[in-house]
């Protein structure tokens, strides 16, 4: 794998695993100036950030007038924030029809407390469609990437994702804790609940925190998912 491929893979993990971003819209109040907001998101089936926005928020009003915007995500970590991976993108945020489909289901698995926002408070789903990405993973790594290097559609059908998630949460919670222990050496006292799986990682909730766990290798089918998840549970350092 080339350095460029390694950096692109790191950028994809940050995008998939951050779950919140700075959204910079075109200000209506101060024309020509950006307006920054922090928004939660998940990646949809096509690998695009899916947002649930209030019609009353300033950023939504800005987007309704001009869909052009920027999205910035920063890898989790401690210490100097400039030593962490940062991915910025320019693109457009437009209304989505995700209200009743599998993408909405994925969003609410990550943020279950927000479902009443859609049902009672007139929130609406939007999608961010990027034009280009800029990645900075540390010294001498800053570079632009085309969308083909960063965006990855989920190869697993929504039904396959549901089955895997239900199976892991019902029968393999110990494995989920093993995966966490392998990435950061900790396990913690809270339950670990799987909420998502895609080609390159799984997403879990630990208490009120969402975590991203990279897979050992990319997958393209439920059978490959099973093979990789079993291998991760039995690799050295696991149970």
- Within 10 angstroms of residue 189's Cβ, the number of other Cβ atoms is 6
How far apart CA 113 and CA 217 sit, in angstroms, is 32
Does residue 40 surpass a pLDDT of 60? yes
Q: What's the CATH code, domain 158-234?
A: 3.20.180.10
Per cent of the chain over pLDDT 70 is 95
Tell me what pLDDT residue 98 has: 67
CATH 2.30.110.10 fits 3-150, yes or no: yes
Give the count of alpha carbons within 13 A of 161, CB side only: 21
How far apart CA 190 and CA 141 sit, in angstroms, is 36
Does residue 123 surpass a pLDDT of 80? yes
Does residue 42 surpass a pLDDT of 50? yes
Reduced to 3 states (helix: H, G, I; strand: E, B; else coil), residue 152 is coil
Residue 79 Rama label (left phi>0; alpha psi -120 to 50; beta): left
How far apart CA 11 and CA 130 sit, in angstroms, is 14
| Per-residue model confidence as pLDDT tens digits over 223-233 | 999 999 999 99
Contact present, 89 and 41 (Cβ < 8 Å): no
Tell me what pLDDT residue 81 has: 78
Query: Which of 11-20, 25-34, 58-67, 180-189 shows the lowest mean pLDDT across its residues?
Result: 180-189
Residue 154 backbone phi and psi in degrees, to 5:
-75, 120
How far apart CA 136 and CA 197 sit, in angstroms, is 25
User: pTM of the entire structure?
Assistant: 0.93
User: Which three-class secondary structure string do you get for 146-177?
Assistant: CHHHHCCCCCCCHHHHHHHHHHHHHHCHHHHH
- Within 10 angstroms of residue 89's Cβ, the number of other Cβ atoms is 25
CATH 2.30.110.10 in the chain is located at 3-150
C-alpha angle 184/109/41, rounded to 5°? Answer: 75
Does residue 239 surpass a pLDDT of 50? no
Among the listed residues 168, 136, 95, the one whose alpha carbon sits nearest the alpha carbon of residue 8: 136
Mean pLDDT estimate for the chain: 93
Contact present, 185 and 239 (Cβ < 8 Å): no
CATH 3.20.180.10 in the chain is located at 158-234
Contact present, 210 and 19 (Cβ < 8 Å): yes
Mean pLDDT of 145-168: 97
């Amino acid at each position: 794998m080339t350095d460029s491929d390694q950096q692109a893979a790191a950028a994809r993990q940050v995008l998939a695993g951050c779950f919140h971003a700075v959204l910079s819209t075109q200000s209506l109040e101060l024309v020509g100036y950006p307006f920054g907001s922090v928004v939660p998101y998940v990646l949809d089936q096509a690998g695009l950030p899916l947002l649930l926005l209030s019609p009353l928020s300033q950023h939504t009003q800005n987007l309704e007038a001009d869909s052009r915007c920027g999205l910035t995500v920063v890898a989790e970590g401690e210490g100097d924030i400039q030593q962490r991976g940062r991915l910025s993108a320019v693109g457009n945020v437009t209304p989505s029809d995700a209200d009743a489909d599998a993408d909405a289901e994925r969003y609410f698995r990550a943020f279950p407390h927000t479902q009443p926002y859609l049902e009672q408070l007139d929130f609406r789903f939007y999608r961010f469609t990027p034009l280009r990405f800029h990645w900075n993973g540390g010294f001498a790594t800053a570079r632009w990437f085309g969308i083909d290097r960063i965006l990855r559609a989920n190869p697993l059908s929504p039904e396959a994702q549901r089955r895997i998630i239900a199976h892991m949460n019902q029968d393999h919670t110990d494995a989920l804790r093993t995966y966490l222990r392998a990435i950061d050496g900790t396990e913690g006292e809270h339950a670990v609940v799987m909420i998502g799986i895609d080609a390159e990682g799984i997403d879990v909730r630990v208490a009120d925190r969402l975590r991203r766990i990279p897979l050992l290798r990319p997958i393209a089918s439920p059978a490959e998912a099973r093979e990789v998840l079993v291998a991760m549970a039995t690799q050295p350092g696991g149970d």
